[in-house]
Structure 1
Amino acid sequence: MEDAEAGVAASGQRDFYVAWIPSQFSRELVLKHHYSHRIVNNSYCHLGVFYRQNLAGVLVFGYALNPRAVGKIVPDTSVGEYMELNRMWLSDVAPRNSESRAISYSIKYIKRACPTVAWIQSFADERCGRLGVVYQASNFLYCGSHWTSFYYLDGEYFHEMLLTTSKKGRSKILIDNKDRAIPLRFRQFRYVYFIKKHWQKRLALKTHLTPSRRAWSRMKE
């Protein structure tokens, strides 16, 4: 799918709104400011967050890391009927609750710009101390968690999938140095939001009470 473009007006309010920005500019912001400092190559909807006419953040949507698994989440979902929010960064200059507002305005934007999209998923990463509070505040459904394996090598985290992908770039670095990489396991918390509410009955995953930091800390003790 081609990049979503600026054919839809901005979504939000005069002093706080989201609007399309060029993909290259979006990726530069992610590389510089997002905690992962990594882009997602299959992203195609790049929305800037503007506060008082200043660019103050970015939200990036695209395909799932494993698109073939989408049918196990919401059966009979075709390409173009879902998105994954895979990167979000907001500057500290943005006011309180800006993350949930930005997500809300982004959903409204997508609803108009990409009318075939029925649902959105995203993940909160325990590795970075996140449980998904912003998704809870944005009325996403919490669909449980799963363990994901990483390797820590020379100050960076490498996803285990890099061991089975092309032997180039970060994959090659991990493969060539796996003997000294430190294996780690973290939880990822899955959240799903249905733009088209009648699709919710298709959800193949169970929903759960949202995790709290205190409860999760007790579970790990």
Structure 2
Amino acid sequence: MPMPPLVKVGVWERGKFIGCVLFARGASPHLGRPYGLTPFEVCELVRIALTKHETPVSRIVAIAIKFLRKNSPNLRLIVSFADTRQGHHGGIYQAGNWIYAGRSAVCREFYHEGRWKHNREVSGGAFGGSRRVADPSKLPQRKSEGKYRYLLPLDKDMRLRLEHLALPYPKRSEPITRDKQAMAGSTGTAEG
């Protein structure tokens, strides 16, 4: 689960609950540091979880961001990541005119309880947590290739400060099928 505080935006279609969009502090306590922001001025879009729906995901995200901005007036930047191992390239962020700022850092992942997990999930080293696996070094390991990082400045000054980071949008390398999602361990979230 993402680090608190969380902003949970419920999503309904035709009166039926179909999922939520979650914003949080993110995995790094220093998320805003590279952009000169305090933890109170930046958040991460950490999860988009939807069942079957008709509305485009980019529209759902735009509505959730409008709600977030109204309730968090000091927020200046939203950061999000598209995980290529899950078959995501960030299409929903591209549709929303987010800035693509390259890949996140490479890190180690461990295979535990049927899926690949970030080092923090097995070591418990994040935020003073206790160790979750007795000896992570005995688990199968791989290096992540880094996720695509997207930035959404929420004011004109922030957009001007960050536009020099903009890189050409990555393209989806190949169509994603249900079989490929299952092999990648997809959770069924709609992240791009």
Q: Which TM-score bucket, shorter chain as reference?
A: 0.7 to 0.9
Mapping of residues 177-192 of structure 1, within 5 Å: 177-192=136-151
Corresponding residue for residue 139 of structure 1:
97
Shift of 1:69: 4.3
The one of 44, 58, 64 equivalent to 2:20 is 58
Provide the aligned C-alpha RMSD in A: 2.1
1:137-176 pair list within 5 angstroms:
137-146=95-104, 147-161=106-120, 162-163=122-123, 165=125, 168=130, 171-173=131-133, 175-176=134-135
Cα distance in 2 for partners of 1:163, 1:177 equals 7
Q: What amino acid is the match of 1:53? A: G
SS in 2 for 1:139: coil
SS in 2 for 1:211: coil
Aligned length: 170
Q: What is the Cα deviation at residue 204 of structure 1? A: 8.4
| Higher relative contact order structure (alpha carbons within 8 Å, sequence separation ≥ 6) | 2
Deviation at 1:199, TM superposition (A): 1.3
Say whether residues 1:71 and 2:29 are aligned partners: no
Deviation at 1:155, TM superposition (A): 1.1
1:141 aligned partner, one-letter code: I
* Cα deviation digits, residues 105-150 of structure 1 (max 9, x gap): 0111122111111111100011211111111111111000132321
CA drift at 1:153 = 2.6
Residue 180 (structure 1) shift:
3.5
Alignment of 1:199 onto 2:158: yes
The answer to whether residue 43 in structure 2 is matched with residue 87 in structure 1 is no
**Partner deviation per Cα, 1:175-210 (whole Å, 9 max, x = no partner):** 424223232423200001111122123338721000
Q: CA deviation at 1:43?
A: 3.9
1:129 to 87, 97, 105: 87
Percent of aligned positions that are identical: 24
TM-score, with structure 2 as normaliser: 0.79
Q: TM-score, normalization: structure 1?
A: 0.69
Residues 54/133 of structure 1: CA separation in 2 closer, same or farther (3 Å cut): same
The answer on whether the counterparts of 2:76 and 2:153 sit within 8 Å (CA) in structure 1 is yes
What stretches of structure 2 of length at least 5 have no aligned partner? 175-192
Separation in structure 2 between the aligned mates of residue 42 and residue 126 of structure 1, nearest angstrom: 25
Q: Do the aligned partners of 1:43 and 1:60 also contact (CA within 8 Å) in 2?
A: no
Secondary structure of the equivalent of 1:130? coil
Whole-Å Cα distance in 2 between the matches of residues 177 and 82 of structure 1?
A: 32
Which consecutive unaligned segments of at least 5 residues does structure 1 have?
Answer: 1-38, 216-221
Structure number with higher strand proportion: 1
